[in-house]
């Protein structure tokens, strides 16, 4: 599954928080690691009172230093510096993801430029929108994986659409690799969470809409039970939950209750009021949860 991990670094300790979970994954999956830095045009010498890499020589020395940290000991680690100065760092890293062909990109939500800048509209959003490489978003505050601890519970939100479930095989493979529990979650909205034409219909036909939503929940449980049965046949300790309400809030609530170590979900990497698993849901989850979030890009149509 994951054989090559790409970790963008900017020289800050915040960005380096992606290293421990990446190392944990690399060891478990026997994957290689590439550390990458892109030289930014007119880059400041400091960011958040930390050094910032402004020359190729400095960046190369820094990446080599990181490659020999105890956290990455025993792993196959390579480094790559994009020496030509660029104005669009996220765009350049996206191009490198195509060039270096990683299976997974691991990055911190806190990097150069402030809180969640790497996720909100920059690197992760661009990579996801390409519809190719999954991205693991790590929070610096999340320390459970930093000491080498094993994952115990993976949460995988799904919506019943096969085209939206590209993350489910990845979640299943990770559950097998880490010998941990996999919990599937489906969220059926309440009338208050409906949007667009569905919201309009609920105003005209509230009773019928409530009945349909109840039927949707029953169907969701049946669908989940079928998926869990299939996962158990693969030797996975699987469980499921059907919930009602706002998708992002339900995911966050379930993650807290289950003490999830990882959330795996598909996303279009874009915002959209009628897209149940649109980028807005993923953005809300990553901005409010401290749990690592593995986003699997979905292709429209």
Query: What CATH number has the domain bearing residue 281?
Result: 3.40.50.12370
Angle at 252 between CA 247 and CA 256, to 5 degrees: 150
H-helix or E-strand spanning residue 35: strand 32-40
* pLDDT for the residue numbered 32: 97
Rounded CA-CA distance 73/208 in Å is 60
Same domain, 274 and 183: yes
Same domain, 122 and 164: no
Residue 143 in any domain: the answer is no
Residue 147 in any domain: the answer is no
Same domain, 283 and 158: yes
Strands 135-138 and 104-108: parallel
Instruction: Identify the domain boundary among 138, 161, 176.
Output: 138
- Token pair for residue 39? 């030289």
The residue among 87, 86, 71 whose CA lies nearest residue 35 is 71
Same domain, 283 and 205: yes
Instruction: Identify the domain boundary among 106, 138, 170.
Output: 138
Same domain, 62 and 166: no
Residue 148 in any domain: the answer is no
Residue bearing tokens 């690399």: 26
The residue among 51, 38, 57, 106 whose CA lies nearest residue 77 is 106
Same domain, 166 and 195: yes
Same domain, 128 and 245: no
* pLDDT for the residue numbered 203: 41
CB 297 within 8 A of CB 127: yes
User: Can you give the residue range of the structural domain that contains 258?
Assistant: 153-297
Rounded CA-CA distance 184/203 in Å is 31
Residue 168 in any domain: the answer is yes
Same domain, 52 and 164: no
Same domain, 168 and 285: yes
Q: The domain that contains 51 carries what CATH number?
A: 3.40.50.620
Please give the radius of gyration of the chain, using alpha carbons only, rounded to the nearest integer: 20
Instruction: Identify the domain boundary among 89, 107, 138.
Output: 138
Q: How many domains does the structure of the chain reveal?
A: 2
* pLDDT for the residue numbered 261: 94
CB 58 within 8 A of CB 84: no
Same domain, 44 and 130: yes
Which positions ≥6 away from 10 have C-beta within 8 Å? 37, 47, 52, 53, 111, 112
In the chain, which residues have pLDDT < 50? 111-121, 145-147, 191, 194, 196-213, 215, 270-279, 301
Residue 146 in any domain: the answer is no
Count other Cβ atoms within 10 Å, centred on residue 232. Answer: 13
Residue 145 in any domain: the answer is no
Residue 64 in any domain: the answer is yes
Same domain, 133 and 226: no
Same domain, 88 and 183: no
* pLDDT for the residue numbered 199: 44
- pTM comes to 0.81
* pLDDT for the residue numbered 186: 87
* pLDDT for the residue numbered 82: 75
Residue 134 in any domain: the answer is yes
CB 228 within 8 A of CB 184: yes
Which positions ≥6 away from 102 have C-beta within 8 Å? 4, 5, 6, 34, 133
């Amino acid at each position: 599954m994951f054989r090559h991990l790409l970790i963008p670094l900017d020289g800050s300790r915040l960005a380096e928080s992606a290293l421990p979970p990446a190392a944990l994954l690399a060891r478990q999956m026997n994957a290689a690691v590439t550390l990458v830095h892109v030289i930014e045009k007119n880059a400041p010498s400091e960011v958040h009172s930390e050094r910032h890499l402004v020359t190729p020589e400095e960046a190369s020395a820094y990446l080599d230093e990181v490659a020999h940290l105890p956290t990455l000991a025993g792993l196959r680690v390579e480094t790559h510096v994009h020496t030509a100065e660029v104005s669009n760092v996220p765009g350049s890293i996206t191009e490198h993801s195509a060039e270096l062909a990683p299976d997974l990109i691991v990055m911190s939500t806190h990097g150069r430029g402030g809180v969640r800048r790497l996720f909100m509209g920059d690197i992760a959003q661009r990579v996801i929108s390409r519809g190719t490489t999954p991205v693991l978003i790590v929070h610096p505050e999340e320390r459970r994986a930093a000491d080498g601890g094993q994952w115990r519970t993976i949460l995988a939100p799904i919506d019943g659409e096969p085209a939206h479930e590209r993350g489910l095989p990845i979640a299943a493979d990770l559950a097998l690799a880490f010998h941990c529990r996999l919990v599937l979650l489906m969220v059926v909205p309440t009338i208050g969470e409906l949007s667009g034409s569905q919201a309009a219909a609920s105003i005209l036909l509230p009773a019928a809409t409530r009945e349909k939503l109840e039927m949707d929940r029953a169907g969701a449980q049946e669908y989940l039970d079928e998926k869990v049965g299939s996962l158990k046949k693969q030797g996975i300790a699987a469980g499921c939950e059907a919930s009602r309400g706002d998708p992002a809030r339900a995911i966050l609530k379930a993650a807290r209750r289950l003490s999830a170590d990882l959330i795996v979900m598909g996303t279009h990497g874009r915002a959209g009021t009628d897209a149940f698993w649109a980028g807005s849901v993923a953005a809300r989850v990553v901005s409010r949860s401290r749990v690592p979030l593995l986003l699997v890009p979905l292709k429209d149509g």
